[in-house]
Structure 1
Amino acid sequence: MSTPERLIQILANKGTLPPASPWADAVAQVRRELFLPDTFEVNDRTFDRTRDAKRWAWAVYADLPLVTQINEGQALGDDAYQRPTSSSSMPTIVLDLLDLLDGDRVFEAGAGTGYNAAWLCHRLGSDRMTTMDIDPVVTKQAEANLAQAGFTPQVLCGNAEDGAPYDRTIATFTLADIPYT
């Protein structure tokens, strides 16, 4: 069984999604597969929908981070370091990090696939959600994924450090270097 209901069960078993959680409907209604390419990676294992649709769907509805882009989408050769540059975040992490109140305006730094933004749009409304990514290809794909799922948040391409004030901010991106202060 690889469905949103499976993900709800996994999250409930971990204690991340209590039975009366306001997130349960978002997890149930936002189909993660709409936000994923045919191929992604998990812990250096490739999941390919065209080769094994059942295995791919199993990973989609597991509580796992799914790497959707390597080396900013550039083919650098087999011997090059494989640096993840975009992903669909691990659902547990998203639910644990964001202390959301109804009516909040949310800014997400790191649009990725758009899946997190879709959960937030489902819960708050598209007009209360802004997501941004520095990569124009990732930004365009996130916007297309969100539209396909019926959501219309503000999707921006740029540096998240330039974000305006919001009630809540979530950052789901990797830094190549942590600046010394």
Structure 2
Amino acid sequence: MAMLIKNFRSEKGSAAVEFAFYIFIFTLICGVLMDMTFSLIKKSELERVNNSLMSVLRERNAFYDGRSIPSALDFNQIKEVANTLLGTTDKSYQLELRIALPASGSVPDPGVRPSFAEAIFNTQKINGCEIDMNVSNITQLGSLSVFGQPPASADPNGMWYPVYELTICMPGAVSYFNQFMGIFNKKLASLYIKNVAIPRL
């Protein structure tokens, strides 16, 4: 009888340990799934914001008198739009606008792609964002340029259009899983959303 009671207690104890282990694993999986869900929601939000900002940048005639090259003042306005859409300030994200534009002195020729120079506008750097490591090089951006005939108010001989690349970064604290993975790869520690387009002139 004593032996049966001992075996019963042993099996009961083993079942309790296994149950606790299963509960721990189940809770951990649920936590990771919730964490990744919130991360995907934030990613979708940043994608919508980036698309909206790029739409504003592209509409040069509507918002910026047709000027193809944004100024620092234009970038500050874009930043304010981002602050409004995100409901925060630029201290919680980093925004960078890179522009590939034909190098000065190049003659517009639809058959010859010119070399491209680079102009950069950005907000202050924040911990967790390495935008400079997640951008296209100027040659890649220049290859996306097209030759076109802008309105009469612009160059009547035609021009190679500048190319805009807008990148927004949100630190990896949005997701604890991403933050953990950032220990091994900094690119995985934060959300980077990049959009490339040419202006409408």
TM interval, short-chain normalised:
under 0.3
Q: Compare CA radii of gyration and give the structure with the larger one.
A: 2
TM-score (norm 1): 0.24
Higher relative contact order (CA 8 A, sep 6+): 2
TM-score (norm 2): 0.22
